[in-house]
């Protein structure tokens, strides 16, 4: 009997599950704003809070979730944490979304 765990169908199902998990994380408007901003390069929590229209604690909670899920990484310098995109797959996805839906985003581009 063939091993179904290594079949192309099983691999496709696994990849679809991974894609669905990633899309669930991107489905939050505030997280999407933060990630779209990070496509342009790293930013501090204060900058990301302002872009997403969040309180400091709410921004920190979103960033902690994205960090735990491997989407972003933080680099501490003094009292500030600078965040950047950790998952390279996100850059292409977010760039495409930004081009399709964020025509006003040019005002925030660096």
pTM of the predicted protein model: 0.80
As a whole number, mean pLDDT of residues 31-56 equals 95
- Is 80 exceeded by the pLDDT of residue 4? no
Give 74: exposed, middle or buried? Use CB within 10 Å, 0-12, 13-18, 19+.
middle
Give the domains, in start order, of the chain with CATH numbers: 7-107 (1.10.10.10)
When pLDDT is averaged across residues 66-83 and rounded to a whole number, the result is 95
Res 108 pLDDT > 80: no
DSSP type of residue 81: E
Residue 72 phi, psi (nearest 5): -130, 165
For residues 70 and 92, give the distance between their C-alpha atoms in angstroms, rounded to a whole number.
16
């Amino acid at each position: 009997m063939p091993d179904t765990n290594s079949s192309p169908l099983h691999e496709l199902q696994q990849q679809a599950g991974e894609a669905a998990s990633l899309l669930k994380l991107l489905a939050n408007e505030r997280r999407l704003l933060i990630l779209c901003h990070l496509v342009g390069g790293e930013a501090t929590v204060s900058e990301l809070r302002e872009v997403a229209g969040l309180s400091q604690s709410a921004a920190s909670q979103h960033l902690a979730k994205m960090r735990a899920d491997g989407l972003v990484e933080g680099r501490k310098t003094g009292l500030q944490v600078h965040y950047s995109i950790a998952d390279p797959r996100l850059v292409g996805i977010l760039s495409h979304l930004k081009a399709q839906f964020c025509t006003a985003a040019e005002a925030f581009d660096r």
